[in-house]
Amino acid sequence: MLLNARKFFSEGNHECLILLAIEDITERKTVETQLKANADYLKAVFESSPQIATIASADGSVNYFNQFFLDYSGLSITEAIDRGWQSVLRPEIYPQFMEIWAHSIKSGDNFDMKLMLKRSDGTYRWHIARALAIRNSNGEITSWVGTATDIHDQKTFSEELEKKVIERTQSLIESNSAIAHSNKNLEQFAFIASHDLQEPLRKIRIFSNMLTTSFGKHLPNEAVKLIDRINTSAERMSGLIKAVLNFSKLESAKEQFSEVSLDDILTQVLEDFDVLITEKHATISKNTLCTIQAVPLQMTQLFHNIIGNSLKFTHPNLSPAITIACQIMTPQELMNYPELNQKRSYCKITIEDNGIGFEKKYEHLIFQIFKRLHSNEQFSGTGIGLALCKKIVLNHQGGISAKSNGSSGSIFHIILPLVQHVIYNIEIEPLVIASAPELLAKEDPKGV
């Protein structure tokens, strides 16, 4: 209770009356006690907080800084109260800070700003400062509660990451420019390969044939053998030029994707090999293949090269047996291929044969251009076939791999998406072309 007393006097200044008033202030005291308890609780929370915390009056004057601020700034509580934020804010930021803070005080809007605060060692660190207005039951602002959180490391990391992204973007722009230049060079090479290089070879074959036709009866056997070797070498060079031409055309291919039945493609390829299959008594077994979005000609080239290899690289006294299987990959199976887009649907084609196979160490080499595991005396070839297959699969945003145990045959795994999201995503690999004599004399360690 609150007791008030007042005296009343008569005209002669004689005391005549005393008025006593007793007021019940229980509710007000309860509120004051609760407010003080809340303030004490808030300060206790702030004192244990690992970040800067402040309390300001309704007009924005800061009347409390927690211990974390004092430790961070190296100021005493008196210095902090007297000098406020100006003592730690970076000078060039202070005017902007005051402008935004004044707006919040006037409007009652929350304060939110990134700023740099000076540490006790003189260095500045980035913080994000926020302040929230505390209002009474009438909606009037009674105080402001603020915090400042150190974001220096995150901001530095973000800026460094952004810098690397910019550098990487610039690098990609330069790489794209280099790719465009490389594509242009490939187009020029394709023109040369299809015209300038083929013409001299055609004349070599014509002149050697003229020698054999006109003077064959008068030439010694050794000369005839040399002419045959010239013809053989010219044919090999012509085949190699055509293979490289196909490879370069694939780099700049403009064909559109369409719905392709791999079953129809395989049937066409097997018809092309009908004579060879009959001669070698080969057996072909397969299940139903998928229909996908693809470039039909490239799918034909893909199956033609791999099945052609299975029919070529065979044991002398063993009939070829080729098994072709296809299945839609499950999400669980797809997880084994992290390089593929896990949100897309793929089919997996397996082509297995009982041929001569290859050593495990050559699993990746066989997909490199001009890599041969056998000499031309054993098996003919250009060393481009499987490199072409890899390029086709990459053009279709898939994957290809090969396994073998040495001499018990080979297994090729081809993974292709059912639907194409982008027309092309070509990864250009270095293409190094040796001179004609070097290619003719080269005996690389499977001519594919």
Residue 271: partners with Cβ closer than 8 Å, 6 or more residues away = none
Check whether residue 413 and residue 289 sit in a common domain: yes
Strand partners, 305: none
Supply the pLDDT for residue 10: 61
Q: Are residues 217 and 243 in the same domain?
A: yes
Tokens of 301: 């080239």
Chain centre distance of CA 241: 35
Dump pLDDT digits (tens) for 158-214.
Answer: 888 888 889 888 888 888 787 777 767 766 666 666 666 777 777 888 888 888 888
Give pLDDT, residue 132.
Answer: 92
Q: Is residue 159 part of a domain?
A: no
Burial level of 448, CB count in 10 A (0-12/13-18/19+)?
A: buried
Tell me the H-state helices in 253-336.
Answer: 262-272, 274-279, 296-312, 331-334
Starting at the edge strand that comes first in sequence, how are the strands of the sheet with 399-404 ordered? 283-286, 321-328, 346-353, 410-417, 399-404
Question: What's the token pair of residue 41?
Answer: 């609780």
- Higher model confidence: residue 430 or residue 322? 322
337 within domain boundaries: yes
Please indicate, yes or no, whether residues 308 and 363 belong to a single structural domain of this protein. yes
Q: How many CB atoms lie within 10 A of CB 39?
A: 13
pLDDT band with cut points at 50, 70 and 90 for residue 432: very low
- Pairwise CA distance, residues 160 & 166, whole Å: 10
Whole-number Å distance between alpha carbons of 382 and 243? 7
> How many CA atoms lie less than 13 Å away from 337 in the CB half-sphere?
24
Domain end residue (candidates: 204, 232, 252): 252
Residues in a beta bridge with 247: none
Reported confidence tier of residue 348, pLDDT bands at 50, 70, 90: very high
Residue 156 lies in a domain: no
| Statement: residue 73 has pLDDT above 50 | yes
pLDDT value of residue 362: 72
Locus of tokens 């499987």? 386
Residues 316 and 416 in one domain: yes
Burial class (CB in 10 A: 0-12, 13-18, 19+), 43: middle
Task: Please indicate, yes or no, whether residues 350 and 431 belong to a single structural domain of this protein.
Answer: yes
Residue 369 CB coordination number (10 Å): 21
- 155 domain residue, yes or no: no
CA dihedral (171, 174, 179, 184) in degrees, to 10, reads: 180
Does 365 map to a domain?
Answer: yes
249-288 pLDDT, tens per residue? Answer: 565 555 678 899 999 999 988 988 888 899 989 999 999 9
Region 15-33 average pLDDT: 60
How far apart CA 330 and CA 335 sit, in angstroms, is 9
Paired tokens of 284: 């072909």
Which of 223, 252, 281 corresponds to the end of one domain? Answer: 252
Write out the H or E segment, with its range, that includes residue 144.
strand 141-150
Average pLDDT rounded to a whole number, residues 376-403 = 75
- Same-domain pairing of 290 and 435: yes
Q: List the CATH number of the domain containing 143.
A: 3.30.450.20
**Which CATH number belongs to the domain containing residue 191 in this structure?**
1.10.287
* CA–CA gap between residue 59 and residue 376 (Å, rounded): 93
Q: State how far the Cα of 415 lies from the Cα of 337, in Å rounded to an integer.
A: 10
The mean pLDDT of 386-391, rounded to a whole number, is: 86
Q: Which residue has the higher pLDDT, 306 or 197?
A: 306
pLDDT at 346 over 90: yes
Q: What is the mean pLDDT of residues 374-403?
A: 73
- In angstroms, the CA 390 to CA 397 distance is 10
Both 378 and 401 in a single domain?
Answer: yes
> Is 43 within a domain?
yes
Same domain, 313 and 436: yes
- Residues of the domain holding 198: 164-252
332-to-135, 328, 384 alpha-carbon distances in Å: 56, 12, 34
Burial of 320 (0-12, 13-18, 19+ CB in 10 A): buried
**How many angstroms separate the CA atoms of 315 and 409, rounded?**
9
Q: How many separate domains does the chain show?
A: 4
Lowest-confidence pick of 64-78, 127-141, 234-248, 433-447: 433-447
Residue 96 contacts by C-beta under 8 Å, 6 or more apart in sequence? 113
Q: What's the CATH code of the domain at 266?
A: 3.30.565.10
Pair (341, 228) in one structural domain: no
Angle at 260 between CA 305 and CA 395, to 5 degrees: 55
% of the chain beyond a pLDDT of 90: 26
Q: Does 230 share its domain with 321? A: no
- Output the pLDDT for position 172: 85
The reported pTM is 0.45
Does 439 score more than 70 pLDDT? no
> What average pLDDT does this structure show over 332-359?
89
Reply yes or no on whether the pLDDT at 421 is more than 60.
yes
Pairing of strands 283-286, 258-261: unpaired
Asked if 171 and 181 sit in the same domain, the reply is yes
pLDDT at 440: 33
**Residues 77-104 pLDDT 10s:** 888 888 888 889 999 999 999 999 999 9
Last residue within a domain, chosen from 102, 125, 150: 150
Closest CA to 67 of 83, 45, 88: 45
158: in domain: no
In a domain, 157, yes or no: no
Task: Identify whether residues 259 and 408 lie together within a single domain.
Answer: yes
pLDDT at 345 (0 to 100): 93
Look at residue 395 in the predicted model and tell me its pLDDT. Answer: 86
CA atoms of 200 and 370, how far apart (whole Å): 23
